[in-house]
Amino acid sequence: MRRGIDGLQSLRKALLLAACLLASGAQAQKEGVPPASAPPVTPPMQGYTFPQHQTLTFAVDWRVFTAGSVTFQLDQQGPLMKVQATADTVGATNMIYQVIDRFQSSFNPVTGCSAGFSKQTQEGRRKVSSDLVFTPGATAPAPASSSTPVLGTQSLNERNLVKNTVKHQDGQIPACVIDSLSGIFYVGSQKLTVGQDFKLPLADAMRTVAVTMKVEAREDVKTPAGTFSAIRVQPTADVGVVKHRGTITIWYSDDARHLPVQIRAKLLWGTITFRLQSVS
């Protein structure tokens, strides 16, 4: 039973970028990389545009049964793109351990830089709300020396709704970072050429993680939404869940949209697969 509960707790983590990689990987890397040495963010490729409104719904399979569903919603709000994600367990999974999580993020569609990330998590009896705000280097306080790399700042406010406690932290980040929710769609804005890998700085839990996106191959992927010609991408990192406990793979549609059509996390306690169910 304990192993089953641990697995279901990790179901939420598989949501984020590719989900399990970026969220869990960042949490596992206690120190992260120094902000000044993090890889730069490459803006979206020329001609790429994010949809003004889009909803993606995924069926989530765990082992031999449907464990839940995940919905992503993108909306253009002023100069920023807003992303909302909902992860819910269903059926027999709820009888063991209920997971109801909500995530929100925002990013600049021109630069790719994240503006913030927030989450409201309910996992069993645990209820936590947190807000992480990023101030990019362009608007952050100027460095003391011109030879010092321009850095940004981050501010975390976390509240335990059961214990009624509050935690606040401030820290530095690279001039531009990607959060673990926006990152799913940021990767789709890049030129995905097989054999040409690229790096990004992921900011999560007050740390910065250098993540390499390996663009591996083209292949067909069958989902409830249809069969897609897709590009297979594997995020990797030097530490954390990616290195020690499993692999994450994301398939993006091989067209101008670069839709995430399937995400698969192979971990010690089982394999989670997200299959695109609908696009609207």
What is the per-residue DSSP string for 177-193? -EETTHHHHHHHTS---
Q: What is the DSSP letter of 37?
A: G
127 neighbors 162 (Cβ within 8 angstroms): yes
Comparing CA positions, the residue from 73, 42, 87 lying closest to residue 211 is: 42
Question: Scanning the structure block, which residue is given the tokens 């695109």?
Answer: 276
Q: Measure the CA angle with vertex 240, ends 210 and 99; round to 5°.
A: 110
**What does 169-230 look like in DSSP terms, one character per residue?**
EEEEEESS-EETTHHHHHHHTS---TT--EEEEEEETTEEEEEEEEEEEEEEEEETTEEEEE
Q: How far apart are the first and last CA of the chain?
A: 38
Is 174:197 a contact under the CB 8 Å cutoff? no
Structure tokens at 53: 């409104």
Distance CA 249, CA 236 (A): 10
Q: What residue numbers bound the domain in which 211 lies?
A: 2-279
Give the separation between CA 141 and CA 80, rounded to whole angstroms.
Answer: 22
What span, in angstroms and rounded, lies between the C-alpha atoms of 177 and 181?
12
> What pLDDT score was predicted for residue 266?
82
User: Can you give the pLDDT at residue 23?
Assistant: 43
Q: What would the two tokens of residue 268 be?
A: 């010690």
In tens digits, the chain (280 residues) has pLDDT values of 444 444 444 444 444 434 444 444 434 444 567 787 889 999 999 999 999 999 999 998 877 677 778 899 999 999 999 999 887 765 544 444 455 578 899 999 999 999 999 988 776 677 888 899 999 875 544 444 445 668 889 999 999 988 889 999 999 999 999 998 899 999 999 999 999 999 999 887 788 888 899 999 999 999 999 999 999 999 887 654 444 456 889 999 999 999 999 999 887 777 889 999 999 9
Q: What is the pLDDT of residue 268?
A: 73
CA separation for the pair 83, 75 (Å, rounded) = 7
User: Which neighbouring-strand residues pair with 130?
Assistant: 119, 158
Identify the bridge partners of residue 154 per DSSP, sorted by sequence position.
134, 171
What three-state secondary structure class fits 1?
coil
H or E element, residue 94: helix 92-96
pTM score above 0.85: no
Domains held by the chain: number:
1
51 φ, ψ (degrees, to nearest 5): -65, 145
